[in-house]
Amino acid sequence: MTVKNEVDDGMRKEQTPLQDSDMTGGTCHSGMANETSRLDITRETCPMTFVRTRLALDRMAPGEVLRVLLKGDEPRRNVPRTATEQGHAVLGTEEGADGTVSLWIRKAG
């Protein structure tokens, strides 16, 4: 069974099974690797957008994938850039109809 960890307000929530709507053929909709954790920073402003992302990545094992939900131009530029500068791999992005962007990051290690 595939599970996801949801991260909200900097705290890891209980693992919940991924729904079929979360996956397509074993990968995320955009073809990214399966996410291990999900973080919603759509209501955050810089610098908290990357602070929360970094805290989530710090709790993950190397090679795990974090899906970050973000909104706004500044986080779209800064979160992927800063993750790359810290050695993590940005696997890709997907823009939603509501302006929310999904960003997949593989933890370095």
Q: Which of 46, 55, 69, 89 is catalytic?
A: 46
* DSSP-based three-state secondary structure for 72: coil
CA geometry: angle 98, 47, 41, nearest 5 deg: 30
62, amino acid identity: P
The answer to whether residue 46 is catalytic is yes
- CA–CA distance, 27 with 24 (Å, rounded to integer): 5
Of 59, 9, 10, 70, nearest in space to 36 by CA: 59
- The single residue listed with the structure tokens 């593989």 is 106
**What is the largest distance, in Å, between two alpha-carbon atoms of the chain?**
36
Q: Report, as residue numbers or ranges, the catalytic residues.
A: 46
